[in-house]
Chains A and B, each alone.
Chain A
Amino acid sequence: MDTTQVSLEDFWENGPCGHLIAELDGRIVRVNATLLRWLGYDRNALPGRLFSDLFTVGGRIHYDTHFVPLLRMSGELTGVTLDLVTADGARLPMFLTANIKTDAAGQPELLRITAVDAADRRSYERELLEERRRVETEHARVLAFAETLRRSLLPPVLSPPAGLDASACYFPASADDVGGDFYDLFPLSRTKWGFFLGDVSGKGVDAAVVTGLTRYALRAAAVSDDDPVQVLHNLHSVLGQNLGAQHDRFCTVIYGNLTKRDNGFDVELASGGHVPPLLLDADCSATYVDSVGGHAVGLVAAPHFVASRFHLAPGDTLVLYTDGLTEALTGVRRERYDDEGALLRFAKSHAPATASAIAEAIHALLDSFGSGVEDDVAVLALGVPLVTSG
């Protein structure tokens, strides 16, 4: 076929795309037959009107605030999805591309715009968007579920005895997962209080189930046994009965009793493989409580637990925490926070401190680690306030 016989005019008018030429300000100059047919307008109805008049009102805002600047500044528009509105008000999903014709001097002169029917693509995109919304909704549900579950495993309020300040914080590493950290402080008699803090291995719902079981086992055992070591053995039996041979679930925990004496409290505690608590003294020193060396509860058949006893005098504060704190990754080299003894230095720099002051300081420290906190952290601080006159 002789190429000179091919009609470009026919291609412009009747090709499979809508074509449109507009002034720089968007005023329509010429529209091809295909687009007129799609829109249901007469040939003379559109020239002189604004191209954006063919959009829905919302689409026009989108066009004026995004696509006009993009086209004018970059000279082209690609991959834009907009609805055109036909003469009888129906909507046509369109895929628009545009570029700018410049004059001989290189100055922008006209807009060349092409519209392609995007009905199929649009329904596909809607499905994807629907899917994305569904995922977002599910995720919101998971977040709410995790938050509720996490809260259900912690005491709503701490009930310390008169003469003792208690402060706790729970720092979740992830909003959509539940760690296995737990703590509590509760009265056993008029003169005696129990407390514990621990960490169940693993994360998620499975860990939360063990956490719940552990909390109730400890509170039940605390009533029947005076000896903290016995309380942990009791927990060990309960976990063994309930979890059977599931040795991938165990917990490290400190259980202790507080008994009022003089102006302070006698502390008796037992540790089942848990990181040692800190003792911040009234005289500005900070030391670890000697409680290292025991087994985690539920890990071995005949575990050994380490007992420790001491006195909390006015100005002294005992701080229990979980290893999410000591193992948080810090600095450029992403080292574990406590690899070089940083926690003890931190405690010394804050001693003496009230329970709420040290709990807040640790919370701020965790905040400063940002994404370096990879595991949940629970902190429980118990302090005897200095006796003040009046």
Chain B
Amino acid sequence: MDVYARNNINVVGAGDGPLIILAHGFGCDQQLWRPVVDRLKSEFRLLLIDHVGSGESDPACWDVQKYSSLAGYATDVVEIVRELDLHDVVFVGHSVSSMIGALAVIAEPSRIAKLVMLTPSPCYIDDGDYRGGFSQSDIDELLESLELNYLGWSHAMAPVIMGTPDRPELQNELAETFCRNNPAHARVFARATFLSDNRDDLARIFVPTLVIECAQDAIAPREVGAFVQERIPDSRLVTLDATGHCPQVSAPDATASAIAAFARPT
């Protein structure tokens, strides 16, 4: 198994620095880390991945059954750290990748030394006293919204797929594929993300964990951040003065600082 091609692995930064794996959440791909990469690369070795079905992962590796649950994505992460024989890994997962990282560290605690959960939620759906913030019908709306942008996707991707990019380059040389994942794959990832319930897994994370949340985030609200931190034995919580679900873009300085302070060997 060529994990490099499967997960479009890119390694940048300081060759002898501590190793950080950066895993993107639902919606975009590894390019979303760029502002953070710029701030961390002088000190850390950074390994970026695209989950299968996102970004420039190998389309031939797509498997509906496997990638219909977070376990499928976590299996890939475990395979990556084993195949590349990585040790003392700091795994940074954004959004749903926080939980994918949690499942990976439960399966392979000897290689992943620390976990950073950026805007995590172990369960998006309200359940009894637990307030995930969403209902099943909200998730159906999301799936519908993904569907409705299918034509936009086809239109935007056509020049990429045909190999004749006739559009002006996106500002700052972002790849044409950025945030434009195949809607059929995105739908499966969306269901795996928003219909998963990993609340019981939190107590099984035994590595030092940093939970980073935003002061205002509709997708991972503050009570969810507190819930996550309370249940992970060796964890602490940092709240960034930021709005939205992607602080690595809206508050890259604060996000990178929090990751760096935690990832530095003590």
**Chain A interface residues (CB < 8 Å from chain B):** 24-27, 50, 52, 56-62, 64-70, 72-76, 79-83, 122, 125, 128-129, 132
Contacts and interface: CB of A to CB of B under 8 A. Distances in A.
B171 interface: yes
A59 B218 contact: no
6 contacts: A57-B138, A59-B141, A59-B142, A64-B218, A65-B25, A76-B171
A58 B34 CA distance: 27
B59 to A, nearest CB: 14
Given A66-B28, A73-B32, A74-B171, A56 B179 contact: no
B142 A74 contact: no
Interface string B164-208: 000000111010001100000000000000100000000000000
Nearest to B173: A74
A66 B246 CA distance: 10
B218 A66 contact: no
B140 interface: yes
Q: Would you call the interface of chain A mostly helix, strand, loop, or mixed? A: helix
Most chain B CB neighbours (cut-off 10 Å) among A25, A61, A72: A61
Most chain A CB neighbours (cut-off 10 Å) among B134, B145, B146, B170: B145
Nearest to B143: A58
Given A69-B28, A73-B249, 5 more contacts: A25-B242, A57-B138, A61-B142, A65-B28, A69-B246
A72 B31 CA distance: 12
A27 B140 CA distance: 26
A66 B148 contact: no
Contacts of B218: 52, 60-61, 64
A125 B142 contact: no
A85 B144 CA distance: 15
A56 B143 CA distance: 12
Contacts of B148: 81-82, 122, 125, 129
A73 B142 contact: no
B149 interface: yes
B244 to A, nearest CB: 6
B134 A57 contact: yes
B250 interface: yes
B50 to A, nearest CB: 14
Contacts of A74: 170-172, 174, 178
Nearest to A95: B152
Contact of A25 (B141, B219, B250): B250
Interface of B: 25-28, 31-32, 34, 95, 134-135, 138-152, 155-156, 170-172, 174, 178-179, 194, 216, 218-219, 242-246, 249-250
A80 B152 CA distance: 7
Nearest to A61: B142
A64 B32 contact: no
B245 A82 contact: no
A129 B144 CA distance: 11
Given A52-B218, A69-B179, A73-B31, A58 B172 contact: no
A64 B174 CA distance: 19
Given A68-B244, A68-B245, A73-B31, A81 B174 contact: no
Most chain A CB neighbours (cut-off 10 Å) among B26, B134, B142: B142
A69 B25 CA distance: 11
Contact of B145 (A26, A62, A69, A73): A62
Minimum-distance CB pairs A-B, first 3: A58-B141, A65-B27, A58-B142
Nearest to B186: A66
B174 A73 contact: yes
B134 A66 contact: no
A56 B141 CA distance: 8
Contact of B149 (A26, A56, A69, A80): A80
Contacts of A64: 218-219, 244-246
Contacts of B32: 69, 73
Contacts of A25: 216, 242-244, 250
B138 A61 contact: yes
A29 to B, nearest CB: 14
A94 to B, nearest CB: 11
A129 B153 CA distance: 13
B249 A68 contact: yes
A115 B144 CA distance: 20
Contacts of B246: 64-65, 68-69, 72
Nearest to B24: A69
Given A64-B219, A64-B244, A66-B28, A75 B145 contact: no
A79 B153 CA distance: 9
Nearest to A66: B27
Contacts of B135: 57
B146 A62 contact: yes
B250 A72 contact: yes
B171 A26 contact: no
Contacts of A70: 28, 178-179
B141 A57 contact: yes
B27 A58 contact: no
A381 to B, nearest CB: 30
A300 B27 CA distance: 62
A72 B219 contact: no
Contacts of B139: 58
A64 B170 CA distance: 20
A57 B138 CA distance: 6
Contact of A59 (B31, B145, B178, B243): B145
B249 A72 contact: yes
A242 to B, nearest CB: 42
Contact of A66 (B179, B244, B249): B179
A69 B27 contact: yes
Nearest to A83: B145
Given A65-B27, A65-B245, A66-B28, A79 B138 contact: no
Contacts of B141: 56-59
Given A58-B142, A65-B25, A129-B150, A73 B178 contact: yes
